[in-house]
Amino acid sequence: MNPTKAAIFARLQKEILSLQDIKKSVNNNAIDTTIGPLKNSFPGNTFPVGAIHEFIAAGREDAASTTGFIASILAPLMQNTGAVIWIGSVHSVFPPALKLFGLVPDKIIFINSQKETAMLWAMEEALKCEGLAAVIGEIKELSFTASRRLQLAVEQSRVTGFIIRTNPRTITTTACVTRWKITALS
């Protein structure tokens, strides 16, 4: 790309991001999330912490890959801040395996509930706690209203939120800053 086009592209990208109310870095304490070349896709080449990220998984294999990806992002987040809360309907994570990603399993609090409304409530309340590094919710269905409530909570606390949606019935518009689809290698 020639310098003129690159300058125009950079200016347009900056204007679009400002219209979307996405700052260069959502959190002033930028961290190196070890996601390699993917970080170049984000504003300011920094993974947006202090925001909600949505992950869509088509099945168990994709959900496992997604969990590994999130764990690799959590490791640097947990170095500087507090604990992580992991909310789901079943205990799907084997805590000792998280050590492979550099996580301290003792700093992860697991909460299980069978009701999605209770999980969303717990996630929203946890996201309001400024002392946490992150909150992960394994929630199948997510409305725009629910995602907006979660995003508003993180804008106040600057806690990073991750939503893992395995086999959702519908994929609709959400207020999440990013939407990911991580697949397992065959």
Domains detected in the chain: 3-180 (3.40.50.300)
Beta carbons within 10 angstroms of residue 25's beta carbon:
19
Position 92 pLDDT exceeds 90: no
At residue 136's C-alpha, the angle toward residues 51 and 40, to 5°, is 45
User: CA-CA distance, 44 to 39, in Å (whole number)?
Assistant: 9
Residue 179, both tokens: 């939407």
Rounded mean pLDDT of 95-114? 88
pLDDT per residue over 3-60, tens digit each? 787 788 777 777 776 665 554 444 445 566 566 677 677 767 777 888 999 999 988 8
Please state the pTM of the whole predicted model: 0.81
Q: Which of 26-30, 91-95, 105-109, 123-127 has the lowest average pLDDT?
A: 26-30
**Phi, psi (5° rounding) for residue 108?**
-115, 125
Rounded mean pLDDT of 143-148? 94
Q: Which of 34-43, 94-103, 114-123, 131-140 has the lowest average pLDDT?
A: 34-43
